[in-house]
């Protein structure tokens, strides 16, 4: 007779959940990470350009906007991630129909993308400010 399988501990359960994420959740996070990555690269270019102009003492007229608009650009990064991440999630995550025959688009897919977008956007800002900007500011 086989021995009963021992249950997983707390960490083991979390690792299992991470390795076996549901497809809709994976798609929502992937859509938001894709959008945030593109917008973060655009924001990084602007951030480094403003920082270099301020360090050199040059006028900011050569930089897009003509002044330091990094806070507004960061807000646009978050807003863009929320809007486009939710839209893409709506398009790529269909919900099953109530009668069990096929799938359909639902607002719940967009809500799933909305809930995934906020942490992804703010993590992207942290990665940009703490890792990417110091790396590219030295170049």
The DSSP code sequence of 56-106 is HT--GGGSTTSS--HHHHHHHHHHHHHHHHHHHHHHH-PEEPTTSSSEE--
Q: Are 124 and 77 in contact (CB under 8 A)?
A: yes
d(CA 81, CA 18): 23
pTM of the model as a whole: 0.81
Q: Are 109 and 89 in contact (CB under 8 A)?
A: yes
d(CA 18, CA 32): 17
Residue 1 reports pLDDT greater than 70: no
For 31-59, how does the pLDDT look when each residue is reduced to its tens digit (9 = 90+)?
999 999 999 999 999 999 888 888 888 77
Percent of the chain at pLDDT > 90 equals 47
Ranges 45-54, 57-66, 79-88, most confident: 79-88
- DSSP classification of residue 98: T
């Amino acid at each position: 007779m086989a021995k009963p399988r021992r249950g997983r501990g707390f960490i083991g359960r979390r690792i299992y959940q991470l390795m076996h994420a549901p497809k809709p959740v994976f798609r929502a996070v992937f859509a938001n990470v894709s959008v945030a990555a593109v917008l973060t690269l655009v924001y990084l270019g602007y951030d480094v350009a403003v920082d270099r102009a301020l360090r050199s003492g040059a006028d900011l007229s050569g930089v897009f906007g003509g002044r330091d608009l990094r806070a507004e650009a960061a807000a646009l990064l978050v807003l863009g991630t929320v809007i486009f991440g939710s839209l893409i999630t709506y398009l790529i995550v269909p919900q099953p129909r109530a009668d069990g025959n096929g799938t359909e688009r639902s607002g719940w897919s967009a809500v799933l993308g909305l809930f995934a977008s906020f942490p992804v956007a703010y993590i992207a800002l942290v990665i940009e400010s703490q890792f990417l900007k110091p790396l590219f500011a030295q170049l």
